[in-house]
Structure 1
Amino acid sequence: MELDGSKIHRKRFMSSEGRGDKWIDEQTFDSSAEVISRSSFPICELPGHIIIDIFSRLPLKCILRCRGVCKMFLDLLKDPYFIQLHLFRSSTLTTYLFYYENWGYRAVLRFLTFNHDEVGMSSCSSDDHFFNTKHIACQFEVPYGSHLERLDFVGSCNGLLCLYVDSPPMPWYAICNPIYREITMVPSLVVSASLYTYANNSGFGYCQKIKKYKVISFMYLTSMDPVTSAESKRMVANIHTLGTDSWRRVENAPRPKHKSFDPLLNGVFHWITDSYKPCELVSSFDLATETFKFVPPPAHFSPQYVTKISWINIGVLKDCLCICYIYENADFEVWLMREYGVKESWTRHVCVDTKFYVVEDMQRPLKFLNNGDLWFLSTAETLVSFSPAKKTFREVKSIRRKKEVTAHVFSFISLEDVVGAKCLKSSGLELENVESFK
């Protein structure tokens, strides 16, 4: 998101997604400067963009308290420049792990905070009690007539969380920002229950080109041959743009094998398919054009080689598409695509002999942090951190009975700006009890 105004004075910093430099105009702060000059507080004598720079370095609780100090502070903390600067800085310094508890008709979202220190290791900032009530982010009740059978984190993007609730008879999606206590239900995907089956795979992301957030839902469509009465299934994708009231269907979607742990790169989703053909192993979906394409795998991915891969997933590392996999239950490898779409640009980032750690117990990777560490869940229900620099694994925390976990970065992007005030108020959901931010 870029600020409007003449280009009198501009400041350069990395974009909120960490996808290259951006220029931010500071003409926006001229109006604030007039208020500042009339203020008697010493800090208010500073230019508006300096105050915002200070605000962006404060803990969440301090920022929220500053919003209630005066109207000038509130205006500065609502400015798009602050929102982007805070999002960029918080993503490089802190990562949060969100999980949930099912209380029947009520879902409670909790989080754990990790700070990235200077030596490149991630450390837990909480005490030994992983699930502490002081880490409650928010809670909400499901709509009347439905039940919280299973909640799934679809994904996190720019501080917004996308949730999927498998609640018969009609599953539904919701988007929330825990900081603002904002939540909205995505319009129902109206399908015939006898023809469509949810494929347990969805995506949520933002496309900078069109400045839109979108949800993609993969489903099986069952059809019957009128002559033989034989049933067949094919994969379709349903797309929803936040702020609209409908879904669009895209045919001939490549079948996802499982969820990607960090699938979005430059407005394009990526996932591993269930195909045994190397050329169809990695698929992508462009949020701007809403088209599917296959991404060429590393050159050594021959049909014979792929059959010896026991586990594989795809994500983003150092602003590059990356594949991590286990070969012959012995080697854990990470490959980076240095130049997107170029087959020859795949380079091996790390290779680790797994005999010193039972890495085949990897249940699901969560995220590559900015320091290069990979977080994943093990089948032993433990959060494990892998350091490519040291080629070591370490158990961080036990997360027993909490398998639905996602990495998240808090932001001050308002859902009202994304979907509109009308959609936000008519969603039928409300976040409650944000104890951690008081």
Structure 2
Amino acid sequence: MEACKLPMDTLIDILARLPVKSLMRFKSVCKFFYDLIKNNHQFMDKHYEFRKGKSHCAVIEFEPASTVPQPLPNYLFNLIYKESECDDVICIYLDLPNSNTRFVKCCDGMLCLILCRGDLVRSDIGHIISPDIIFDVLVLNPFTREVKVLPFIKVPDKPPNIQRLEIQFGFGLSNNMTWKVIMLLSFEDANRKIDSHEIVMVCSQVGDLWSWRKIDVALDSLYLGSLFDTRDFYLKGKYYWQSIKGHLVWFDIDDEVFGKIERPSNVKGLDFYTVMSECIVVVTVQLPCTENEVCNEIWVMDENNNNISWNKQTSIFSSRDMLEYFDPIGFWDPSGHFLVVSGHMERRYTNSNYYYPDYHDEELYFKDGFGPNLISIDLKTHEKKTIFTSQERISTLTIGLNPAGHVQVCSERSVNQIQEWNDINILWDMASYFRTFHESLKLL
């Protein structure tokens, strides 16, 4: 460092603008660089703010078709990443531990992975008679390839006469800079004859230790059991979940209180909420526009002195043809680029009925080698660009447990995406969800 002629502030400003991959190499240059990149939280925050405006990034969940042979992960997770100055897009398939990852949450360049011990599948969680379940919690930075293990959580014993359990998670940072993992549990009678019993657990750092605790909060008929498994996000110190009824339930990570944003009354056909430019937006289902086109409308929430209004910003048009799959999933950069899952479908006829051999079920599949694709749409120009296709090769980041039971991030390997899509052909009714993500040096 003695030979460097640049002022220290200038040098730090230059380093803060570099991608994480470059900074990982610079850690070996000298002790000053190592401490700055590895341990200086002010530098990490500065770097994160620069990179948020420099790159597009998102984590996308795809749900395999129910006809896929078991065992398989409940969801397929992909991380896509693009520098704003170039057209190259990196797509990383996240090969998560033991196929037991049930939830993945995003905040400040970190992924919170919720793993369920045992062979329980996601669909079983909503119909548990004896919920003897343990969840492991990992926090992963896929760019620095670091993992931190948080304390596991055992689901509390259910009350008498309760047969159904709904579980949701959240992960975020409070305004006073405290990281927390939130777990929502709703115990319900299968026949809906008994009021639900709801529990909120929070895992947070106290000194050098992390621990789970139950909190007493006023839920005021929020019905935590009516929340979607996905369609949740973190924004400005609050974590949000979308209710099946169309409203948003939020949890203030600082004050540990709940609240609700009512469903917008002037928005028809609400599909999901997402985030654009630090604002909450609503994307509608496909609405009829012309004889040959349908459109998804995008509405932006405006909050002024606790008064909330919704203003229509734009529409995204697509074909009415059911064989042209078009599924909007969210924004992946601050300037208004929107991601869509798209692909060419074909009808296939199957016969699985023993008593009526002449009866054929009609199902829609993506054509071999034709998707699904990710399309990025610039909402200002409406220009469409393909992010990746099934023919491209991708880099796989594998996270696993070594023989001692410790988490390790394995080396990357190249795999052929086309084989994956042929083996796991996703049906027309597939579920996909997206969370905004940005590269970071942080790890709690």
Within 5 Å, give how 1:90-169 maps onto structure 2. 90-98=51-59, 111-117=79-85, 123-126=87-90, 148-168=98-118, 169=133
Q: How big is each residue's C-alpha offset from its partner over 1:293-344, in whole Å with a ceiling of 9 and x where there is no partner?
A: 222444525xxx5xxx1x5111221221211112645431111123356545
Is 1:73 matched with 2:38? no
Structure 1 residue matching 2:285: 3-state secondary structure: strand
Structure that is richer in strand per residue = 2
In structure 2, distance between residues paired with 1:386 and 1:80: 35
In structure 1, distance between residues paired with 2:89 and 2:340: 18
Structure that is richer in helix per residue = 1
Is 1:287 matched with 2:253? yes
In structure 1, distance between residues paired with 2:5 and 2:257: 51
CA contact (8 A) 1:149 1:166 kept: no
Structure 1 residue matching 2:300: 3-state secondary structure: strand
Structure 2 residue matching 1:53: 3-state secondary structure: helix
Change (3 A) 1:394 1:71: closer
In structure 1, distance between residues paired with 2:274 and 2:305: 15
CA contact (8 A) 1:206 1:212 kept: yes
The CA deviation at 1:175 is 1.3
Code of the residue aligned with 1:411 in structure 2: it is S
Code of the residue aligned with 1:219 in structure 2: it is L
In structure 2, distance between residues paired with 1:271 and 1:370: 21
In structure 2, distance between residues paired with 1:324 and 1:185: 35
TM-score normalised by the chain length of structure 2: 0.64
Is 1:373 matched with 2:337? yes
Change (3 A) 1:375 1:167: farther
In structure 1, distance between residues paired with 2:388 and 2:196: 41
Structure 2 residue matching 1:263: 3-state secondary structure: strand
CA contact (8 A) 1:271 1:313 kept: no
Q: How big is each residue's C-alpha offset from its partner over 1:182-234, in whole Å with a ceiling of 9 and x where there is no partner?
A: 321343134126858553532211112x2111222232213699xxx955545
CA contact (8 A) 2:59 2:434 kept: yes
Code of the residue aligned with 1:314 in structure 2: it is Y
Which residue of structure 1 lines up, in the alignment, with residue 130 of structure 2? none
Is 1:48 matched with 2:29? no
RMSD over equivalenced CA pairs, Å: 4.0
Which residue of structure 2 lines up, in the alignment, with residue 266 of structure 1? 236
Q: How big is each residue's C-alpha offset from its partner over 1:50-108, in whole Å with a ceiling of 9 and x where there is no partner?
A: 11111122232321121111112223323233211211122222234457999999x99
Code of the residue aligned with 2:228 in structure 1: it is H
Structure 1 residue matching 2:236: 3-state secondary structure: coil
Q: How big is each residue's C-alpha offset from its partner over 1:160-185, in whole Å with a ceiling of 9 and x where there is no partner?
A: 11112233342332212231523213
The CA deviation at 1:159 is 1.7
In structure 1, distance between residues paired with 2:71 and 2:193: 42
Code of the residue aligned with 1:192 in structure 2: it is D
In structure 2, distance between residues paired with 1:176 and 1:351: 36
CA contact (8 A) 2:184 2:198 kept: yes
Code of the residue aligned with 2:101 in structure 1: it is L
Q: Greater shift after overlay, 359-368 or 405-414?
A: 359-368
Which residue of structure 1 lines up, in the alignment, with residue 441 of structure 2? 412
In structure 1, distance between residues paired with 2:327 and 2:197: 27
Q: Greater shift after overlay, 211-220 or 251-260?
A: 251-260
The CA deviation at 1:153 is 4.5
Which residue of structure 1 lines up, in the alignment, with residue 312 of structure 2? 348
Q: Greater shift after overlay, 66-75 or 238-247?
A: 238-247
The CA deviation at 1:264 is 2.0
Structure 2 residue matching 1:187: 3-state secondary structure: strand
Code of the residue aligned with 1:170 in structure 2: it is I
Code of the residue aligned with 1:71 in structure 2: it is K
CA contact (8 A) 1:235 1:251 kept: no
In structure 2, distance between residues paired with 1:343 and 1:267: 19
Q: How big is each residue's C-alpha offset from its partner over 1:15-44, in whole Å with a ceiling of 9 and x where there is no partner?
A: xxxxxxxxxxxxxxxxxxxxx5xx1x2xx2
Query: Which consecutive unaligned segments of at least 5 residues does structure 1 have?
Result: 1-35, 142-147, 416-438
Which residue of structure 1 lines up, in the alignment, with residue 300 of structure 2? 336
In structure 1, distance between residues paired with 2:188 and 2:324: 35
Is 1:316 matched with 2:271? no
Which residue of structure 1 lines up, in the alignment, with residue 185 of structure 2? 219
Structure 2 residue matching 1:87: 3-state secondary structure: helix
Question: What is the percentage of aligned positions where both structures have the same residue?
Answer: 18
Q: Tell me which of 366, 377, 383 is aligned to 2:374.
A: 383
The CA deviation at 1:385 is 2.1
CA contact (8 A) 1:362 1:378 kept: yes
In structure 1, distance between residues paired with 2:308 and 2:20: 43
Q: Tell me which of 212, 215, 225 is aligned to 1:246.
A: 212
Which residue of structure 2 lines up, in the alignment, with residue 63 of structure 1? 23
Code of the residue aligned with 2:376 in structure 1: it is S
In structure 2, distance between residues paired with 1:342 and 1:362: 35
In structure 1, distance between residues paired with 2:155 and 2:213: 9
CA contact (8 A) 2:326 2:340 kept: yes
Change (3 A) 1:176 1:200: same
The CA deviation at 1:373 is 0.9
Code of the residue aligned with 1:292 in structure 2: it is F
Which residue of structure 1 lines up, in the alignment, with residue 354 of structure 2? none
Code of the residue aligned with 1:76 in structure 2: it is L
Change (3 A) 1:59 1:394: closer
Code of the residue aligned with 2:147 in structure 1: it is E
In structure 1, distance between residues paired with 2:373 and 2:152: 36
Q: Greater shift after overlay, 199-208 or 312-321?
A: 199-208
Structure 2 residue matching 1:49: 3-state secondary structure: helix
Which residue of structure 2 lines up, in the alignment, with residue 176 of structure 1? 140
Q: Greater shift after overlay, 253-262 or 326-335?
A: 253-262
In structure 1, distance between residues paired with 2:102 and 2:341: 15
The CA deviation at 1:366 is 4.5
Code of the residue aligned with 2:19 in structure 1: it is P
